[in-house]
Amino acid sequence: MKSFDKIIAVFIVLMAAFFLIMNMILLKQNTSSVPLYKVEANRIEQELLSGNQISADDYPNIIGIYEFSGDNSFYVSDNEYFIKEINNKLYRIEYIDKPEKNNSMLIAVDIVLAVFTLLILALFLYIRKRIVKPFNAISSLPEQLSKRNLVMPLKEHKSRFFGKFIWGLDMLREELEHSRQKSLEYAKNEKTFLLSLSHDIKTPLAAIKLYSKALSKGIYSSPEKQLDAAESINEKANEIEKIVTELSANLSGDFMDFDVHCSEFYLADVINKIDKYYTDKLSVMGTSFSIDQYSNCILRGDADRLEEVLQNIIENAMKYGDGSSISVSFSDEEDCRLITITNTGCTLPDKELPHIFDSFWRGSNTGSQQGSGLGLYICRRLMEIMGGSIYAEISSGCMNITAVCPKQT
């Protein structure tokens, strides 16, 4: 903010200096180098040579015109004068020496400079009020968000330049707060689950240890008692097995929440965003990127989530393809629009293809590439929630992943 104020101050000083210099130059140029009375005296001489009648009243800088009559008083005057011989006659021409200044041009230039200065100054003040000041006020917000210091909603801003930015930051704040709450809830549930699990296992485990110890020490001497102890051990083992089975079922279930808002949207709205983002990005990487011609249609689902699905697939193609080519093609099947993303250089073995949509699964072709194994799993879950599906196939060394999107009927 202070830096911008300095720029405004420097601009004002420079314009004032320029204004002063221009006035000095124009004043100097507007001052005639030849006295005007001499110019008018030459005109008088020409008029007399032509035999015309003249009058001093016709010349602003001439006071009087007197012909020599033989009287010595001819050479005496309180005014400045000079003697000129015209047509063999002497004339005393009295004058006043005042320079002519063309003030009209000077005033016009001053007005133009003043208007220009005021317009630029008004533009600076507008930028300061509408752009610099609001941006200065929100410049620390991303840092505060990263530190999770903002728990209150961000103040709405009506600026046409930063209104959407503030709205996006507030959405990010809400998402971070929501993620934080979910993390705390998961941590709490995990701790509660482990405590409950340890308690549930501890009781039958203690009974098994007790019966085992009794049998090892021969406390149960009769075959009937020994049989009862063995059956009790088996019963408690079944309880533990049941707990482990329930645990496995819980762990294999869906562990992620997906916020999907289904509605109608145009396919072109999503594809245009994908085209705009990846055309430049992939051209820098030297990867050929193409999107086939397609007919626009209305789809049913969440436009933002479909965009996320396509982005995940393309990011995977960039990581695990050979970087030569990535293409997007379209087809129709019943009431669905199929969007297929193809990348060259697929090295995934055919036998691993059925597992690529599993959570935390990573193929043998990942090498040193970093990843969590969740990208395509998220794609599958999102497409299922939106009423569609997703599948993959390998053909001629290319990976083809197709998102099946239901049309609005």
3-state secondary structure the chain: CHHHHHHHHHHHHHHHHHHHHHHHHHHHHHCCCCCHHHHHHHHHHHHHHCCCCCCHHHCCCEEEEEECCCCHHHHCCCCEEEEEEECCEEEEEEECCCCCCCHHHHHHHHHHHHHHHHHHHHHHHHHHHHHHHHHHHHCCHHHHHHCCCCCCCCCCCCCCCCHHHHHHHHHHHHHHHHHHHHHHHHHHHHHHHHHHHHHHHHHHHHHHHHHHHHHHCCCCCCHHHHHHHHHHHHHHHHHHHHHHHHHHHHHHCCCCCCCCCCEEEEHHHHHHHHHHHHHHHHHHHCCEEEECCCCCCEEEECHHHHHHHHHHHHHHHHHHCCCCEEEEEEEEECCEEEEEEEEECCCCCHHHHHHCCCCCCCCCCCCCCCCCCCHHHHHHHHHHHCCCEEEEEEECCEEEEEEEEEECC
- Judgement on whether residues 299 and 199 belong to the same structural domain of the protein: no
- Judgement on whether residues 77 and 181 belong to the same structural domain of the protein: no
- Judgement on whether residues 230 and 192 belong to the same structural domain of the protein: yes
Asked, for residue 159, whether it belongs to a domain, the answer is no
Asked, for residue 155, whether it belongs to a domain, the answer is no
Which pLDDT belongs to residue 100?
53
Where the chain has pLDDT below 50, the residues are: none
Asked, for residue 185, whether it belongs to a domain, the answer is yes
Does this model's pTM top 0.85? My answer is no
Quote the number of domains for the chain.
4
Taking only the tens place, the pLDDT of each residue in 254-287 is 556 678 889 999 999 999 999 998 988 898 889 9
- Judgement on whether residues 117 and 205 belong to the same structural domain of the protein: no
Task: Give the residue from 231, 252, 273 where a domain finishes.
Answer: 252
Percentage of the chain lying above the pLDDT 70 cut: 85
Which pLDDT belongs to residue 257?
66
DSSP β-bridge partners for residue 300? 264
Which pLDDT belongs to residue 202?
78
- Judgement on whether residues 292 and 341 belong to the same structural domain of the protein: yes
Task: Give the residue from 223, 252, 281 where a domain finishes.
Answer: 252
Asked, for residue 345, whether it belongs to a domain, the answer is yes
Q: Output the six-digit token pair for 184.
A: 């705390």
Which pLDDT belongs to residue 235?
86
Taking only the tens place, the pLDDT of each residue in 45-61 is 888 888 888 888 888 88
In this structure, what CATH number is given to the domain that contains residue 353?
Answer: 3.30.565.10
Task: Give the residue from 203, 226, 252 where a domain finishes.
Answer: 252
In this structure, what CATH number is given to the domain that contains residue 211?
Answer: 1.10.287.130
- Judgement on whether residues 311 and 199 belong to the same structural domain of the protein: no
- Judgement on whether residues 228 and 298 belong to the same structural domain of the protein: no
Asked, for residue 11, whether it belongs to a domain, the answer is yes
- Judgement on whether residues 185 and 86 belong to the same structural domain of the protein: no
Angle at alpha carbon of residue 270, lines to 267 and 272, rounded to 5°: 105
- Judgement on whether residues 25 and 40 belong to the same structural domain of the protein: no
Supply the angle between the helices 303-320 and 375-385 in degrees, to the nearest 10: 150
Asked, for residue 149, whether it belongs to a domain, the answer is no
- Judgement on whether residues 281 and 394 belong to the same structural domain of the protein: yes
Which pLDDT belongs to residue 358?
85
Q: Compute the chain's Rg from CA coordinates.
A: 47
- Judgement on whether residues 344 and 267 belong to the same structural domain of the protein: yes
Distances (CA, A) of 177 to 143, 182, 224, 254: 15, 9, 62, 22
- Judgement on whether residues 297 and 359 belong to the same structural domain of the protein: yes
Asked, for residue 350, whether it belongs to a domain, the answer is yes
Domain that holds residue 218: 166-252
Asked, for residue 68, whether it belongs to a domain, the answer is yes
